[in-house]
Amino acid sequence: MHHVFRAEDVRTVLADSGLFSSDRTRLMPPTAQLGRGNLTMMDPPDHTRIRRIVNQAFTPASVRGLAPAIDEIADELVGSLVPDRFDLVRDLAYPLPIRVISRYLGLPEDRIDRFRTWSIGFSRGDAAQMDEMHRYLAEVAGAKRARPDGDLMSRLATAEVDGVPATIDEIASLAGLILLAGHVTTTSLIAAAVHELCVQPALDVQVREHDRVEELVLEALRVRPAFAQVTRMAEADTILSGTTVPAGALVAAWILSANHDPGLNPDPEPFLLDRPARRHLSLGHGVHYCLGGPLAQIEAVAAVRAVIRRFARLTVIAPVEFHPLPTLAIRRLELEGRADA
Ligand code: HEM
């Protein structure tokens, strides 16, 4: 595997889907149905067709329409936190996005524990769990195609490209990816933003007094991207910053490193609300550019606002470590904190 760290090279890798393929199934054959139809592992033209289906369904207006529900869920979860000591990830940063994405898709919220188990199975490549999730989502997609009711699943099930809808298997794979990508990453962002308030009291004051929650979330997205790296496969010999990457090599494009490259952001290390041009690759680049960034930001802003409305001061009381999950290179934070009302 070749590791690419400079922002310019990371951008080059992500921008050229012909030279740097996302189709890693040749090296790591997918063991279950969900893995086979995974949008993030497709190249154009297959990727283009499925992305056009999802783009029709996952619209900016539908995301904006979720804002009141997001505020309501955030307030309810923050209202249930025990003031003296709580686990921010377990009690807020995890349940908020999984409830929001379930509601958006039109899936029953009382099955969230099941979705959680399936998502963990998905990230570990557990074929039995992935198949079970796929069967369930295919059943829902079939029902929504027969009787669409306006939710995201219904829109995915009825969208067409050149007059042809996606297959039920394709919709189930897409929904599974959205369910997974739609919550674990946002959990990281919420935790990273709140963590920064805990460890930087001056920043906490600035955010509260001048309502800088949006900048806090954007800087957390830059400094602590949920995907530390994404992987591609070189289709031909290529030279990157003077090093030859041979055809067939796996390439790890390090988003985390690129975001901290002084070529991208002068003075990249400090966590600053007032960055003049806040450049980052946290949501990817090129044809696979993340479709959920605005949704994640709305959720993180709602979560932080709810927390600071309820608690005047936040302290971290357990050791905190940002670390990657096995397999997915997703960085997450386990955080247990204390808040003083
Ligand atoms: C793609 C990051 C939130 C759905 C990506 C990619 C990155 C990323 C880096 C590109 C992967 C690649 O190039 O291989 C993030 C981060 C998020 C976030 C940091 C939150 C802070 C979300 C949310 C959703 C979502 C909330 C859905 C509700 C997707 C999907 C793709 C994707 C479906 C695949 C797009 C494609 O392959 O064309 N995301 N994401 N993401 N993201 Fe996100």
- Cα(94)–Cα(190) distance, rounded to whole angstroms? 9
Does ligand 1 lie within 6 Å of residue 105's CB atom? no
Position 331 scores a pLDDT of 56
Concatenating the DSSP letter of every residue in 268-320 gives -SS--TT-SS----TT--GGG--S-HHHHHHHHHHHHHHHHHH-SEEEE-S--
Does ligand 1 lie within 6 Å of residue 181's CB atom? yes
Closest Cα to atom 3 of ligand 1: 292
Q: Which two tokens stand for residue 248?
A: 């067939």
Mean pLDDT is lowest, of 188-192, 223-227, 295-299, 336-340, for 336-340
Closest Cα to atom 22 of ligand 1: 292
Does ligand 1 lie within 6 Å of residue 230's CB atom? yes
Closest Cα to atom 8 of ligand 1: 283
pLDDT digits (tens, 9 = 90+) for 240-286: 999 999 999 999 999 999 999 999 999 999 999 999 889 999 999 99
- Nearest to 186, CA basis, from 219, 225, 213: 225
Closest Cα to atom 34 of ligand 1: 40
Closest Cα to atom 32 of ligand 1: 290
pLDDT digits (tens, 9 = 90+) for 21-56: 999 877 766 655 455 678 999 999 999 999 999 999
**Residue 39 CA: which ligand 1 atom is closest?**
37
Q: Which two tokens stand for residue 225?
A: 């991207």
Residue for token pair 């993340």:
290
Does ligand 1 lie within 6 Å of residue 232's CB atom? no
For a mutational test of ligand 1's pocket, the pick from 185, 214, 224, i.e. the residue with the most ligand atoms closer than 8 A to its C-beta, is 185
Helices in 124-243 by DSSP H: which ranges? Answer: 127-146, 152-158, 168-181, 184-199, 201-209, 213-223
Residue 300 pLDDT greater than 90, yes or no: yes
How many A from CA of 36 to the centre of ligand 1? 18
Domains and CATH numbers, the chain: 2-340 (1.10.630.10)
What ipTM score was computed for the predicted complex, to two decimals? 0.98
Does ligand 1 lie within 6 Å of residue 136's CB atom? no
pLDDT digits (tens, 9 = 90+) for 70-110: 999 999 999 999 888 898 988 999 999 999 999 999 999 88
